[in-house]
Amino acid sequence: MRAMRRKPLSPSFQKLIRTVKDSDELVTHVGNIADRYRREHAVDEQGRVQPERQALRLLQKHAAALSDWLRAAKKAGGVPEHAALARISSALNGVPGRTVAESAAIQSWLAQIEQAASRCLLSPELTARKAAPAAPSIAVEALRATFEHHKLKWSATISKTKQSEAVRLLCAIAKHAGDDSMTPQLARQWLLAKR
C-alpha cells in the first residue's frame, strides 16, 4: 500500500484542540494521533485479510489460465501455443517435444494449485467477519497518554449539553480521518473500554 500523505489539520480542528489547552505541543500531539487514526482507519476499511485474498484469487486465475494455455499447446497442427512451447522446449532442453510431453505433469500441478487456492479462499480465517476496528482503540491509548503528559483531566462523561474533552477530541479525530460513524456515545464506549 502506498504511503499516505499527512492531512493538514483544519483551523476548526485546531481551535477545538486549543479549547482543551492552548498549546502548540498539544496541537502537534493530537495531529499525530489523528494521522495515525487515519492510517489505521484505512486498514480497517480495507480489511486486514483483503491483500491475501487478492493474492490467492490472482494465483487461482493465473493457474487456470496457464493450464488452459498448456492444454491448447498440446494440440499439434498450427496452434501458436504448440509452436511456442516447442520453441521453449528447444531453448531449454535442445529437444522440441520434451516440454510438450512434460506439460501434462505441469497441468496436473496447476490444477492442484487452483483447487488449493479455492479451498484457502473459503477458509474461516479469510471469510471471517471483520474484527473490531483498531483505529479507535489506538487513538484512545494515544489520547490517554497525551492527556497524562499535558496533565489534563481524563473523563468520558457526556450529557445532553456537554461532552468531555476526550470525547470531543476522539470524535474530531475520527471525523478528520473520514470516519463519520464516531458518535459521542460510541466515543464514550471506546474511552471506557478495558484493554
Residue 6 domain-assigned (yes or no) = no
pLDDT, position 3: 55
Residue 169 has pLDDT above 90, yes or no: yes
Query: Are residue 74 and residue 36 in the same domain, yes or no?
Result: no
What is the Cα–Cα distance from 135 to 45, expressed in whole angstroms? 10
Query: Are residue 38 and residue 54 in the same domain, yes or no?
Result: no
Closest by alpha carbon to 56, among 1, 2, 115, 105? 115
Residue 179 has pLDDT above 90, yes or no: no
Query: Are residue 69 and residue 119 in the same domain, yes or no?
Result: yes
Q: Under DSSP, is residue 158 helix (H, G, I), strand (E, B) or coil?
A: strand
Residue 39 has pLDDT above 70, yes or no: yes
Query: Are residue 31 and residue 57 in the same domain, yes or no?
Result: no
pLDDT, position 36: 93
Q: Which residues contact 59 (CB under 8 A, 6 or more apart)?
A: 113, 117
Residue 1 domain-assigned (yes or no) = no
Q: Are 3 and 32 in contact (CB under 8 A)?
A: no
Residue 2 has pLDDT above 60, yes or no: no
Boundary-marking domain end, from 92, 111, 127? 127
Residue 2 domain-assigned (yes or no) = no
Cell 492510517: give the residue. 39
Residue 167 domain-assigned (yes or no) = yes
Closest by alpha carbon to 174, among 144, 133, 114, 125? 133
Boundary-marking domain end, from 108, 127, 146? 127
Query: Are residue 102 and residue 35 in the same domain, yes or no?
Result: no
Return the DSSP state at 23.
Answer: -
Confidence of residue 128 (pLDDT cuts 50, 70, 90): low
Residue 69 domain-assigned (yes or no) = yes
Residue 181 domain-assigned (yes or no) = yes
Boundary-marking domain end, from 127, 147, 179? 127
Cell numbers placing 160: 445532553
pLDDT, position 1: 46
Q: What percent of the chain lies above the pLDDT cut of 70?
A: 90
Provide the b/e sequence for 156-188 (b: ≥16 CB within 10 Å).
bebeeeebbbbbbbbbbbbebbebeebebeebb
Residue 175 has pLDDT above 70, yes or no: yes
Q: Under DSSP, is residue 163 helix (H, G, I), strand (E, B) or coil?
A: strand
Mean pLDDT for all residues in the chain: 86
pLDDT, position 104: 83
Query: Are residue 56 and residue 113 in the same domain, yes or no?
Result: yes
pLDDT, position 127: 64
> Region 26-54: what's the mean pLDDT?
84
Q: Which domain range does residue 42 map to? A: 11-47+132-192
> Region 119-141: what's the mean pLDDT?
79
Query: Are residue 62 and residue 33 in the same domain, yes or no?
Result: no
Domain count, the chain: 2
